[in-house]
Amino acid sequence: MTESIAIKFPESDIMEMDKLINTGKFISRSDLIREGARRLIQEKILKMEESNKYILEMENKGDFKNIELIVLANLFINKKLTEKEEIVAKRLTRNPLKPIKIIEGKFVLTEIGIDLAEGFLDSLLHLRKIKNVK
Amino acid sequence: MLNEQEKELFGKVAWTIYKKGHLTIDAILRFNPGVGKKDIKKFIKLGLLVKHRTDTFELSSFGRVLGFRYNKKFGK
């Protein structure tokens, strides 16, 4: 079953499309648009497959149980740290990446600390999506 | 700590190591023409790359997280 969709393009795009059609690579504008859309969809599927594999590798290597990453994520979401987590946070202030600094007695994430926390939370959400966990 | 260009380069290095497994510095440089030895040394110093059993390097936990964040190939 097929379905028709009406799409409007700016004139400049149409001109570029017609140039490609005149080379004989595509038989019509529809043919060209179909091919373009299919390539994009395929690319997106491949990207998702790679992401899934990467996230599962992170899980296998224990990254989601890494206390340092958990501490960074907890600071990012303003969750109160436990005593043990505070010790880890102090240790992280001496980490070469400097993800945390202490300002007026409080732990504060640096730019790279925010990147780590967001990356950790993003990948954790991705893992839950792969495993269908709510 | 890492500027925008270094973040992009690290994303590429992370992708290469993820696809090919632990690699020597020379191999990382060969697969990533835009990356220099100085960049790799910085990534090692920051703990994003860690030594494997031999003279090869792999991603640390922080390295894997930042690799996921900095490389657009990991489609969100």
* Residue range A85-112, pLDDT digits in tens: 999 999 999 999 999 999 999 999 999 9
Whether residues A46 and A87 share a domain: the answer is no
Over residues B50-54, the mean pLDDT reads 86
Interface touch A123/B68, C-beta < 8 Å = yes
The verdict on residue A28 lying in a domain is yes
- Rounded to 10°, the helix B61-70/B4-20 angle is 110
pLDDT in the model for residue B69:
93
Give the whole-number percent of chain A exceeding pLDDT 70.
Answer: 99
Interface touch A97/B61, C-beta < 8 Å = no
Over residues B11-35, the mean pLDDT reads 92
Give the whole-number percent of chain B exceeding pLDDT 90.
Answer: 78
Residue B48: closest CA among chain A residues belongs to which residue?
A97
Integer angstrom CA distances of residue B3 from A113, A125, B25:
14, 26, 21
Phi-psi region for residue A62, left (φ > 0), alpha (ψ -120 to 50) or beta? left
pLDDT in the model for residue A133:
67
Whether residues A54 and A83 share a domain: the answer is no
Substitution target in B12, B52, B74 with the highest count of A β-carbons within 10 Å is B74
pTM: 0.78
* Residue A1 pLDDT exceeds 80: no
Over residues A43-71, the mean pLDDT reads 90
Whether residues A70 and A97 share a domain: the answer is yes
Interface touch A122/B69, C-beta < 8 Å = yes
Q: Domain count of chain A?
A: 2
Low-confidence winner among A34-43, A46-55, A114-123 (lowest mean pLDDT): A46-55
Judge whether B61 and A69 are in contact, CB under 8 Å. Answer: yes
Considering only CB atoms, A120 lies closest to which of B65, B73, B74, namely: B65
The verdict on residue A6 lying in a domain is no
Whether residues A54 and A30 share a domain: the answer is yes
Quickly name the fold that domain B4-70 has.
Arc Repressor Mutant, subunit A (1.10.10)
Whether residues A42 and A89 share a domain: the answer is no
The verdict on residue A1 lying in a domain is no
The verdict on residue A25 lying in a domain is yes
Find where tokens 């920051």 sit. B46
pLDDT in the model for residue A61:
94
Substitution target in B19, B20, B64 with the highest count of A β-carbons within 10 Å is B64
**DSSP per residue, B22-44:** SB-HHHHHHH-TT--HHHHHHHH
B64 interaction partners in chain A (CB closer than 8 Å): 54, 57-58, 61, 63
Whether residues A124 and A79 share a domain: the answer is yes
Tally C-beta pairs within 8 A across A and B. 70
The verdict on residue A70 lying in a domain is yes
Mean pLDDT of chain B: 91
B76 interaction partners in chain A (CB closer than 8 Å): 51, 122, 126
Whether residues A43 and A75 share a domain: the answer is no
The verdict on residue A4 lying in a domain is no
Residue A59: closest CA among chain B residues belongs to which residue?
B61
Q: How confident is the model at residue A50 (pLDDT cuts 50, 70, 90)?
A: confident
The verdict on residue A91 lying in a domain is yes
* Final residue in a domain of this structure, among A35, A60, A85: A60
Every domain of chain B and the residues it spans: 4-70
Interface touch A96/B45, C-beta < 8 Å = yes
| Residues spanned by the domain of A45 | 11-60
> How many residues in total does chain A contain?
134
The verdict on residue A3 lying in a domain is no
Over residues B22-44, the mean pLDDT reads 94
pLDDT in the model for residue B15:
92
Considering only CB atoms, B75 lies closest to which of A48, A58, A61, namely: A48
